Amino acid sequence: MIDIVTEQGVVKTIGLSVLTENQSAIKLYEKLGFQKYGTEPKALYDGKRYYDEDLMVLFV
């Protein structure tokens, strides 16, 4: 998917959010070139607890 938008030249950035505690996903995204630019505290609530989300961006 990243290859497709890169080839098209239309999209300049791809953004995503990931649970801060999901370190395996964060490492994968960083390996793909994504950079963390912030954290949204208490972004999600599952009825029992709140979860923070890291915000990431890839400049293509």
pLDDT in tens, 2-57: 777 777 777 889 999 999 999 999 999 999 999 999 999 999 999 999 999 999 99
- Residue 9 tokens read as 């030249």
Query: Is it the case that residue 60 has pLDDT exceeding 80?
Result: yes
pLDDT value of residue 24: 99
Q: Are 9 and 42 in contact (CB under 8 A)?
A: no
Q: Are 37 and 29 in contact (CB under 8 A)?
A: no
pLDDT value of residue 4: 75
Could you give the CA distance from residue 39 to residue 45 in angstroms, rounded to a whole number? 15
pLDDT value of residue 55: 99
pLDDT value of residue 2: 75
13-19 vs 35-45, strand pairing mode: unpaired
